[in-house]
């Protein structure tokens, strides 16, 4: 977080910083959804970019978090992405059959199950995800 110690109202400055983070992050989400409206491929491409992770890394760095914490965030993000990938195959297959909300729920269940199985599998290699 920027150094607020030399400023008049540290609480107001901290709130302003948090609001700035919200606006920048929200703008990225809106950008992705607007791109998806215009082009399926462009929307998918922009959504696949690790924008939220990059923003989180930037926020951690700007807020003077230790390099080890920032590196760990990137490390765990990689491992947490892998079990989410089957959802992206299941969603288009299920959507025409059962509708949006049931598909979304099914994909959440699929992701949770895949994550649990994946966490158990990588534990044998010394990677603790749970």
> Is the model's pLDDT at 3 over the cut of 80?
no
On whether both 58 and 10 belong to a single domain, the answer is yes
CA atoms within 13 A on the CB side of 111: 15
**Pick from 40, 65, 90: which residue ends a domain?**
65
Is the model more confident about 96 or about 28? Answer: 96
The pTM of the whole model exceeds 0.85: no
Distance CA 44, CA 91 (A): 13
Domain range enclosing 9:
1-65
Q: What is the pLDDT of residues 85-123, one digit of tens each?
A: 999 999 999 999 999 999 999 999 999 999 999 999 999
Q: Is there a domain that residue 84 lies in? A: yes
């Amino acid at each position: 977080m920027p150094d607020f110690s030399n400023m008049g109202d540290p609480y107001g400055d901290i709130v302003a910083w948090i609001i700035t983070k919200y606006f920048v992050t929200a703008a990225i989400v809106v950008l992705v959804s607007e791109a998806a409206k215009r082009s399926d491929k462009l929307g998918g491409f922009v959504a696949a970019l690790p924008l939220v992770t990059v923003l989180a890394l930037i926020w951690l760095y700007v807020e003077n978090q230790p390099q080890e914490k920032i590196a760990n965030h990137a490390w765990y993000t990689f491992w947490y992405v892998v079990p989410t990938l089957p959802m992206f195959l299941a969603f288009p297959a299920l959507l025409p059959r059962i509708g949006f909300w049931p598909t979304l729920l099914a994909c959440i269940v699929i992701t949770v199950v895949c994550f649990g199985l994946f966490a158990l599998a990588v534990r044998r290699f010394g990677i603790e995800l749970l």
